[in-house]
């Protein structure tokens, strides 16, 4: 069975890049009839907050991304301890005592020589006596995973193709801090093993992490999942944008963006498939394929999201939005104003043209006489607008803007708006005559 996971840290709100990763992993599982796990990576107790856990759940629910189950790293600390001890006994984990300042100095020296800033494994050269002396002096070690330099690292990446790393060109990663807290690498690998993760889809900034973790899987005698690394999102200017790191579901909701628009855009952003206002998730799932993903940065543009959102709003059926509409607005009202809105919240402003009050412009004497004639010409029928304009065209000889604009202004107070053929029956005969009479006087 295909099992994927989305593993956010609850140290902040989800941003658009996180949402895209969650969506793609959910789609991978859905398309294969598998399982999608939400894993809360909350080992950083100082920065993790329950309010962010709740916000993550709420955002995914709003988007319709449903997890088959949820796991929390804070409830699995014993598993990480067991894996740590096992790897330490096997000689794959060792203590290191350098301070951050010492490590930075080593890095600068290597860079100054034109060499890769790789950890030199100085801690492995310490004798037992030297280690004992450091700890007697109060120096607590951090812990590194020892890479096997004789084991080449290679995998078939679902997006990037064949990926190769020489372990000699990688630093042994720190997996545990001196205070005993965990970094990302080991807990994530243990979780993937225990939860049976078969596919890991994440951003290309994790490629070197994958190289290291593949050796961790092997060291623990576990099968290695299939890995795929998608290009990161960039802004429309083509650069990594801090704004994208703060753009999340709250912002989208405040702007009136429909969740279907977000899914339609993010499901195909960075692929060779056209981004279209598709609301049918089965269509998005049927066409979702890692082979369509490119390696070029995926450009996120608000204009694209707005365009898709507007198209989706224009196609929303009444039953899908009736609970969000102003009181008294029926299906005919929705149908009348729908083509004029970009977000559903704009409907209230247009519905005001029906319920009033409206503010009419001051008309010239000639138009006032024309509107007075309109009061007499208005005859209610199945299509009162066509009847009114046909009668006035014949009696006054007006046509085009001169025929239609004064009527629209008198009836709605605006120069543009919904189709009057649909709007006038909603205003009603008595109110329409009253507005025309008021404008004429």
Residues 125 and 203 in one domain: no
Average pLDDT, the chain: 96
Q: What is the pLDDT of residue 221?
A: 97
Residues 371 and 433 in one domain: yes
Q: Mean pLDDT throughout 378-400?
A: 95
Write down the pTM of the prediction. Answer: 0.91
The 10 Å Cβ neighbour count of residue 305 is 23
Q: Mean pLDDT throughout 83-93?
A: 98
Q: What is the pLDDT of residue 237?
A: 78
Q: Which residue segment(s) compose the domain that 92 sits in?
A: 80-176
d(CA 263, CA 165): 34
Residues 55 and 198 in one domain: yes
Residues 46 and 86 in one domain: no
SS3 category, 172: coil
Residues 108 and 155 in one domain: yes
Contacts of 338 (CB under 8 A, 6+ apart): 313, 314, 316, 347
Cβ atoms of 5 and 197 closer than 8 Å = yes
Q: Residue 362: phi, psi to the nearest 5? A: -85, 125
SS3 category, 251: helix
Residues 360 and 426 in one domain: yes
Cβ atoms of 63 and 25 closer than 8 Å = no
d(CA 221, CA 90): 12
Domain presence at residue 55: yes
Is 242 annotated as ligand-binding? yes
34: Cα separation from own chain's centroid:
22
Number of domain units in the chain = 3
Phi-psi region of 231 (alpha: psi -120 to 50; beta: other; left: phi over 0): beta
Domain presence at residue 309: no
Name which of 65-79, 103-117, 240-254, 426-440 the model is least confident about.
240-254
Q: Residue 440: phi, psi to the nearest 5? A: -70, -25
Give the CATH number of the domain where residue 91 resides. 3.90.800.10
Residues 117 and 203 in one domain: no
d(CA 191, CA 83): 11
Residues 64 and 101 in one domain: no
Residues 55 and 112 in one domain: no
pLDDT digits (tens, 9 = 90+) for 255-310: 999 999 999 999 999 999 999 999 999 999 999 999 999 999 999 999 999 999 99
Residues 67 and 96 in one domain: no
CA-based nearest residue to 148, from 81, 98, 93: 93
For residue 105, what pLDDT band results from cuts at 50, 70 and 90? very high
Q: What stretches of 50-206 show up as alpha helix (H) in DSSP?
A: 50-63, 77-89, 100-112, 128-136, 185-194
Residues 85 and 226 in one domain: no
* Last residue in a domain, options 132, 153, 176: 176
For residue 246, what pLDDT band results from cuts at 50, 70 and 90? confident
Q: Which residues, in sequence order, are bridge partners of residue 201?
A: 228
Give the CATH number of the domain where residue 210 resides. 3.40.50.620
Residues 17 and 140 in one domain: no
**Is residue 130 over pLDDT 80?**
yes
Residue bearing tokens 């199945």: 382
Q: What is the pLDDT of residue 23?
A: 98
In 316-357, where do the E strands start and end? none
Cβ atoms of 378 and 432 closer than 8 Å = yes
Domain presence at residue 274: no
Cβ atoms of 199 and 9 closer than 8 Å = no
Domain presence at residue 335: no
d(CA 354, CA 138): 78
Domain presence at residue 365: yes
Q: What stretches of 32-122 show up as alpha helix (H) in DSSP?
A: 50-63, 77-89, 100-112
Q: What is the pLDDT of residue 240?
A: 67
- Going by the DSSP 8-state scheme, the letter that residue 142 receives in this structure is E
* Last residue in a domain, options 200, 233, 266: 233
Give the CATH number of the domain where residue 393 resides. 1.10.10.350
pLDDT digits (tens, 9 = 90+) for 312-333: 999 999 999 999 999 999 999 9
Q: What is the pLDDT of residue 242?
A: 75
Domain presence at residue 359: yes
Domain presence at residue 330: no
Domain presence at residue 414: yes
Cβ atoms of 116 and 109 closer than 8 Å = no
> pLDDT above 70 covers what percent of the chain?
100
């Amino acid at each position: 069975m295909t099992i994927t996971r989305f593993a956010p840290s609850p140290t902040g709100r989800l941003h658009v890049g996180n949402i895209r990763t969650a969506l793609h992993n959910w789609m991978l599982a859905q398309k294969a009839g598998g399982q999608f796990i939400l894993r809360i990576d909350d080992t950083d107790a100082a920065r993790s907050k329950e309010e962010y856990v709740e916000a993550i759940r709420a955002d995914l629910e709003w988007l319709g991304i449903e997890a088959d189950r949820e796991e929390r790293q804070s409830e699995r600390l014993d598993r990480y301890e067991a894996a740590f001890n096992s790897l330490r006994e096997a000689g794959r984990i060792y203590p290191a005592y350098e301070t951050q300042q010492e490590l930075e100095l080593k890095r600068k020296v290597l860079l100054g020589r034109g060499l890769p800033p790789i950890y030199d494994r100085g801690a492995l050269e310490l004798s037992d006596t030297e280690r004992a002396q450091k700890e007697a002096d109060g120096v607590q070690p951090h812990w590194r995973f020892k890479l096997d330099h004789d084991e080449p690292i290679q995998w078939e990446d679902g997006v990037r193709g064949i990926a190769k790393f020489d372990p000699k060109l990688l630093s042994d990663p720190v997996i545990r801090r001196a205070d005993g807290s965990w970094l990302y690498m080991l807990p994530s690998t243990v979780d993937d093993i225990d939860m049976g993760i078969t596919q890991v889809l994440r951003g290309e900034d994790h490629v070197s992490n994958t190289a290291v973790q593949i050796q961790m899987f092997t060291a623990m005698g576990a099968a290695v999942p299939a890995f795929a690394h998608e290009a990161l999102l960039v802004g429309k200017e083509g650069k990594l944008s801090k704004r994208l790191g703060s753009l999340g579901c709250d912002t989208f909701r405040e702007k009136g963006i429909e969740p279907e628009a977000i899914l339609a855009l993010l499901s195909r952003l960075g692929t060779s498939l056209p981004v279209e206002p598709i609301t049918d998730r089965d269509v998005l799932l049927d066409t979702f394929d890692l082979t369509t993903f490119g390696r070029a940065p995926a450009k996120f543009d608000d204009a694209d999201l707005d365009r898709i959102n507007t198209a989706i709003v224009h196609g929303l059926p009444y039953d899908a939005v009736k609970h969000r509409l102003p009181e008294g607005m029926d299906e005919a009202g929705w149908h009348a104003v729908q083509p004029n809105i970009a977000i559903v919240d704009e409907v209230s402003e247009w519905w005001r043209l029906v319920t009033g009050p409206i503010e009419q412009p001051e008309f010239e004497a000639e138009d006032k006489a024309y509107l007075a004639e309109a009061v007499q010409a208005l005859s209610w029928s199945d299509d009162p607008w066509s009847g009114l304009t046909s009668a006035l065209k014949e009696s006054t000889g007006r046509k085009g803007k001169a025929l239609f604009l004064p009527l629209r202004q008198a009836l709605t107070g605006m120069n543009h708006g919904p189709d009057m053929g649909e709007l006038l029956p909603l205003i009603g005969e008595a109110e329409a005559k009253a507005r025309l009479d008021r404008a004429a006087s």
